[in-house]
């Protein structure tokens, strides 16, 4: 792979130093930092060892300082005392340490992306004949998907429940004044809609019953009701047991009041 970029250049050494040094002085935001990055997100091995020691110390003491971190490292035969002093000396603590964590995470993602691309090119060079191109593409897609999952963790940080309580209380007050407010997507089944007030984004609705009780038919009817009534809402139906043709036949039978066996012989 021909490139002018070296993997070790994909890093913010200063951000790694600043975060570690700041945490030894002020660790109140350590939980939020850990929600963004992991030990492996640091490029330099010394920084990984120090951050790992911080996690162990914080879990036991709910606090972090230079002496505790150094003692934890020494107990594992890792000696970074002078470097810890340097980190603490050069650090200016900021009000939001998560800004450093986000920078570290971004560079970590770039390195992982670099590794994926490098691996893909090597696969093409070494397995161009033995491995089918579809398999190579599948491996590449899986690696990118895992990387996207890693990015999503950063984009969805821990939230304070105070803001959620306020939001829920406001929604409850609105519903009290107007029962039809904040409605989700209605299923078309009146009794069900009275209980759920519609389906909302982020919810997982599970339809459970014994075999041959009409679960698929019920799901198809809900989808049908939604896209007929709210035709501006895109709809997608997955089925592991029915082919597309059979599902289409159910839609036609339902809309035109045709008994299922009839249209097959019409």
Q: Is 185 helix (H, G, I), strand (E, B) or coil?
A: strand
Count Cβ atoms within 10 A of the Cβ of residue 20 and give its class: 0-12 exposed, 13-18 middle, 19 or more buried. buried
Residue 39's SS3 state is helix
Residue 17 has pLDDT above 90, yes or no: yes
The model's confidence at residue 59, banded by pLDDT at 50, 70 and 90, is: very high
Domain ranges of the chain: 7-155, 206-265
pTM value is: 0.62
Highest mean pLDDT among 159-168, 178-187, 206-215: 206-215
User: Rounded distance, CA 217 to CA 73, Å?
Assistant: 61
Q: Is the dihedral of CA 40, 44, 49, 50 positive or negative?
A: negative
Q: Are the C-beta atoms of 233 and 187 separated by less than 8 Å?
A: no
What share of the chain in percent tops pLDDT 70?
88
The string of DSSP letters for 127-171 reads STTTS-HHHHHHHHHHHHHHHHHHHHHHHS----HHHHHHHHHHH
Consecutive H or E run containing 66: helix 66-75
Question: In this model, does residue 205 exceed pLDDT 90?
Answer: no
Distance between CA atoms of residues 53 and 245, nearest Å: 59
Report pLDDT for 42: 96
- pLDDT for 158 beyond 80: no
Long-range pairs, 253-259, Cβ under 8 A, ≥24? 254/220, 254/221, 254/224, 255/224
Q: 100 and 41 in contact (C-beta within 8 Å)?
A: no
**Residue 95, pLDDT score:** 64
| Phi, psi (deg, nearest 5) at residue 182 | 55, 35
> What residues pair up with 185 in beta bridges, in sequence order?
199
Answer yes or no: are the C-beta atoms of 90 and 22 closer than 8 Å.
Answer: no
Q: What Rg do the C-alpha atoms of the chain give, in angstroms?
A: 28
Contact, 49 vs 80, CB < 8 A?
Answer: yes
**Residues 189, 218, 253, CA angle at the centre, nearest 5°?**
100
| pLDDT given at position 1 | 47
Q: Which CATH architecture has domain 7-155?
A: Orthogonal Bundle (1.10)
CA–CA gap between residue 172 and residue 179 (Å, rounded): 10
Average pLDDT of the segment spanning 19-47 = 91
């Amino acid at each position: 792979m021909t490139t002018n970029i070296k993997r070790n250049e994909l890093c913010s050494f200063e951000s790694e130093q600043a975060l570690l040094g700041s945490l030894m002085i002020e660790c109140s935001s350590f939980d939020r930092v850990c929600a963004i990055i992991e030990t492996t997100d640091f490029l330099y091995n010394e920084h990984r060892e120090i951050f790992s020691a911080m996690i162990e110390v914080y879990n036991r003491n709910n606090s972090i300082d230079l002496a505790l971190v150094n003692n934890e490292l020494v107990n594992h035969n890792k000696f970074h005392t002078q470097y810890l002093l340097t980190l603490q000396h050069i650090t200016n603590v900021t009000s939001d340490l998560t800004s450093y964590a986000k920078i570290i995470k971004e560079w970590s993602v770039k390195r992982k992306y670099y590794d994926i691309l490098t691996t893909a090119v090597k696969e093409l060079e070494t397995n161009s004949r033995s491995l089918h191109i579809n398999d190579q593409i599948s491996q590449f897609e899986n690696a990118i998907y895992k990387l996207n999952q890693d990015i999503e963790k950063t984009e969805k940080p821990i939230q304070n429940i105070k803001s959620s309580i306020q939001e829920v209380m406001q929604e409850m007050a609105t519903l009290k004044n107007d029962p039809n407010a904040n409605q989700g997507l209605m299923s078309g089944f009146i009794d069900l809609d009275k209980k759920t007030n519609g389906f909302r984004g982020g919810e997982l609705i599970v339809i459970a019953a014994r075999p041959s009780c009409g679960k698929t038919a019920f799901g198809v009817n809900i989808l049908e009701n939604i896209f007929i009534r709210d035709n501006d809402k895109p709809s997608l139906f997955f089925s592991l047991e029915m082919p597309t043709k059979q599902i289409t036949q159910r839609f036609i039978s339902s809309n035109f009041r045709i008994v299922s066996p009839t249209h097959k012989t019409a």
